Amino acid sequence: MSDVSAVKAALKSQVIETPSWGYGNSGTRFKVFAQPGVPRDPFEKLADAAQVHAHTGVAPKVSLHIPWDRVEDYAALTRYAEELGLRIGAINSNVFQDDDFKLGSVTHPDPKVRRKATDHLLECVDIMDATGSPDLKLWFSDGTNYPGQDDIAGRQDRLAEALAEVYERLGDDQRMLLEYKLFEPAFYTTDVPDWGTSYAHCLKLGPKAQVVVDTGHHAPGTNIEFIVAFLLREGKLGAFDFNSRFYADDDLMAGAADPFQLFRIMHEVVKNGGLKTETNVNFMLDQCHNIEAKIPAVIRSVTNVQEATAKALLIDTEALSAAQRSGDVLASNGVLMDAFNTDVRPLLAEVREELGLARDPFAAYLASGNQERIAADRVGGEQAGWGA
Ligand code: AOS
Ligand code: ZN
Ligand code: ZN
């Protein structure tokens, strides 16, 4: 795409969904560093998400996590989101923080535990009904640590059975997003370890089931953009969980570790129609900010995703396909690298100006005084965090 106004229009219409847990305290297994001003409840998490949207103009949706964001009155939470100019995005289920799930949730050998896990997933669909959320995001920590610990194929049968029950419960405008992850917390087998397993289950379930690609959930060296191209071609790419990693599931700011990889992924998205509204790819962030301030870190991730998208949109597609057709390896690679090496920050600054926003959302947020305000106001009470 070389027409600048079309590039700008595409950048204005891209929606990036931010995670409620990205605003709360988080840490590693060694330490959670509490930060001043961190939200004390789901309402305050929404207020923080609204700051990101106010400064970027492209982040009107927030993923919730149940039970971390469980409230008495979901209608009130939804109304509050609307007052802030936000919508509720994916509902993330949690079948990994209960003693009963030590040996698995929907794949547990005991049918009583499987029932409990499936009931939680069904509760999440009730919450989708109450909040208008279109997406149920499923990530299972299920797996085994030792050879022989359980029946690998049997666990797939149990997983399929639970997914089918939840799929049946979905409304017409609701879908199920099945995330995969190579390992952790299970270290020998994981029940949904890769895109192929997720894809196979989604294919069997039907059109309302699609795959989530979390960019931190692969073996080192995995070609994620190939997976993206393949899933888009099959109509099975439902969403991204963007974050970056140096080692495993590091959950760092998107685009921080490897902006070139993010660009390559966004190239496949753009090339294969993934930016079109009707394709309905949910561009979510899934990250935890352990040592950096949360709201500005989410802003930085949003702008990093935008920069990768802008570069992908600037690729001279005609020159690229001509070079590809003629088998000119160096020329085709050169077209891609020209786009990657373009400084798109001035273009994005113009886009923001046209939306009535400050040219630099990061600096504008820091100058807004919000950080000092929340640090002064949000004293007392439990601070919500990862796992709270
Ligand atoms: C876990 O590693 C996954 O990335 C999930 O997306 C998880 O549900 C999310 O991090 C919130 O807990
Ligand atoms: Zn994730
Ligand atoms: Zn993860």
Tell me how far the alpha carbon of residue 95 lies from the centroid of ligand 2, in angstroms. 14
Assess if residue 343 is contained within a domain: no
pLDDT grade, residue 1 (50/70/90)? low
Residue 20 sits in a domain of what CATH number? Answer: 3.20.20.150
Question: Which is it for strands 175-179 and 135-138: parallel, antiparallel or unpaired?
Answer: parallel
Give me the mean pLDDT over the 278-290 stretch.
97
Assess if residue 192 is contained within a domain: yes
Q: Residue 343 pLDDT more than 80? A: yes
Give me the mean pLDDT over the 107-121 stretch.
98
Tell me how far the alpha carbon of residue 121 lies from the centroid of ligand 3, in angstroms. 18
Q: Residue 38 pLDDT more than 70? A: yes
What's the number of domains the chain is made of? 1
Where do the H-state alpha helices sit in 40-194? 42-56, 74-83, 111-131, 152-169
Assess if residue 302 is contained within a domain: no
Q: Residue 2 pLDDT more than 90? A: no
If you search the block for the tokens 């050998």, which residue do you land on?
A: 109
Query: How far from 233 is each of 42, 222, 270, 271, 272, CA to CA, in Å?
Result: 37, 19, 12, 11, 7
Tell me how far the alpha carbon of residue 140 lies from the centroid of ligand 1, in angstroms. 9
Q: Residue 109 pLDDT more than 70? A: yes
Residue located nearest, by CA, to atom 1 of ligand 1: 139
Confidence (pLDDT) at 167: 99
Assess if residue 386 is contained within a domain: no
Q: Residue 9 pLDDT more than 70? A: yes
Question: Closest ligand 1 atom, CA of 241?
Answer: 6
pLDDT in tens, 292-332: 999 999 999 999 999 999 999 999 999 999 999 999 999 99
Label residue 202 exposed, middle or buried (CB < 10 Å: 0-12, 13-18, 19+): buried
Question: Closest ligand 1 atom, CA of 214?
Answer: 4
Residue located nearest, by CA, to atom 5 of ligand 1: 139
Domain that holds residue 91: 13-295+359-377
Which residue among 68, 69, 241 has the greatest number of ligand 1 atoms within 8 angstroms of its CB, and so is best to mutate?
241
User: Is there a contact between 11 and 309 (Cβ–Cβ < 8 Å)?
Assistant: yes
User: What's the rounded Cα separation, in Å, for the pair 141 and 240?
Assistant: 18
Tell me how far the alpha carbon of residue 120 lies from the centroid of ligand 3, in angstroms. 20
Question: Closest ligand 1 atom, CA of 19?
Answer: 11
pLDDT in tens, 58-84: 999 999 999 999 999 999 999 999 999
User: Is there a contact between 48 and 295 (Cβ–Cβ < 8 Å)?
Assistant: yes
**R_g (Cα) of the chain, nearest Å:** 21
Residue located nearest, by CA, to atom 9 of ligand 1: 286
Confidence (pLDDT) at 384: 65
Q: What does the H/E/C string look like for 172-203?
A: CCCEEEEECCCCCCCCCEECCCCHHHHHHHHH
Q: What percent of the chain has pLDDT over 70?
A: 97
Tell me how far the alpha carbon of residue 232 lies from the centroid of ligand 3, in angstroms. 21
Assess if residue 318 is contained within a domain: no
Tell me how far the alpha carbon of residue 322 lies from the centroid of ligand 1, in angstroms. 41
Assess if residue 56 is contained within a domain: yes
**Structural tokens at position 52:** 């990101």
Tell me how far the alpha carbon of residue 217 lies from the centroid of ligand 3, in angstroms. 6
Ligand lying closest to the C-alpha of residue 24: 1
Assess if residue 145 is contained within a domain: yes
User: What's the rounded Cα separation, in Å, for the pair 240 and 243?
Assistant: 9
Give me the mean pLDDT over the 21-34 stretch.
92
Q: What percent of the chain has pLDDT over 90?
A: 96
**Structural tokens at position 380:** 């007392």
Give me the mean pLDDT over the 15-24 stretch.
97
pLDDT grade, residue 202 (50/70/90)? very high
Question: Closest ligand 1 atom, CA of 93?
Answer: 8
pLDDT, mean over the chain? 97
Ligand 1, CB cutoff 6 Å, lining residues? 21, 65, 92, 139, 179, 181, 214, 241, 249, 286
Confidence (pLDDT) at 381: 57
Give me the mean pLDDT over the 259-287 stretch.
98
pLDDT grade, residue 382 (50/70/90)? low
Question: Which is it for strands 135-138 and 209-214: parallel, antiparallel or unpaired?
Answer: unpaired
Which residue among 286, 287, 290, 386 has the greatest number of ligand 1 atoms within 8 angstroms of its CB, and so is best to mutate?
286
Q: What angle do CA 335, 228, 122 make, to 5 degrees?
A: 155
Q: Which residues contact 86 (CB under 8 A, 6 or more apart)?
A: 46, 49, 50, 53, 60, 61, 62
Assess if residue 300 is contained within a domain: no
pLDDT grade, residue 386 (50/70/90)? low
Q: Residue 169 pLDDT more than 60? A: yes
